[in-house]
Amino acid sequence: MAKYYDTLQHNVWLPYKFAVGPVYGRFYEGLQEEKIWGNKCPECGKVLVPPRSFCPDCHVDMDEWVEVSQEGEVRLWTLADYQFFGAPVDPPFIGALIRLDKTDCDLLHIIGGLDLSDLEAVKNKIKRGIRVKAVWNEEKQGHMLDLKYFELV
């Protein structure tokens, strides 16, 4: 066995301030009013949520705003059962890609309001295509987590 010497403790603390800009800013403002805003590409007509400043496919400005439904269907889900940096809630929790009605991409968020103690029971409850709706936090911070989670309809 190689001899192990001590380690030198060293901490780096680096706070960042990301400019939100007008498009993400309007989306965040919508969350504070319990509204979910997307926007529509003038060329391909896709409605994207969260909204973007330009269409990732057509590369044109996305300037038409659309308030989208707060309900949709689960496309994919996972049960995360480990603690990780920046986790929105303590594990276990369900992360999911959710297709809100009449939108053209999946929204990444969490599904809440369920007992997650038994994986098999969870697998029986949550299937691809199952309907979910938004649940809001009482206190708003102008942040993605103003949307507390999605719950089964």
Sheet-wide strand order for 64-67: 47-48, 37-40, 64-67
- Decide whether 116 or 152 has the Cβ nearer to another protein: 116
Contact 150, 98 (CB under 8 A): yes
The only residue of 7, 13, 115, 138 in contact with another protein, by rule CB under 8 A: 7
Strand pairing partners for 61?
54
- Decide whether 42 or 56 has the Cβ nearer to another protein: 56
Q: Does 80 bind another protein (CB under 8 A)?
A: yes
Q: Where are the alpha helices (DSSP H) in the chain?
A: 21-32, 119-125
**Residue type for position 102:** K
Strand pairing partners for 135?
149
Within a 10 A sphere around the Cβ of 11, how many other Cβ atoms?
Answer: 4
- Shortest distance, position 14 Cβ to another protein, whole Å: 8
Using CB under 8 A as the criterion, what x/- string covers residues 106-135 for binding another protein? xxxxx--------x---x----x-------
Q: Which stretch binds another protein (CB under 8 A): 33-41, 63-71, 77-85, 130-138?
A: 77-85
Q: Does 79 bind another protein (CB under 8 A)?
A: yes
8 burial via Cβ count (<10 Å: 0-12, 13-18, 19+): exposed
Q: Does 87 bind another protein (CB under 8 A)?
A: yes
Q: Does 10 bind another protein (CB under 8 A)?
A: yes
Contact 84, 95 (CB under 8 A): no
- Shortest distance, position 29 Cβ to another protein, whole Å: 13
| Contact set with another protein (CB under 8 A) | 2-5, 7, 10, 12, 18, 20, 24, 48, 50, 56, 75-82, 84-88, 95, 97, 105-110, 119, 123, 128, 144-145
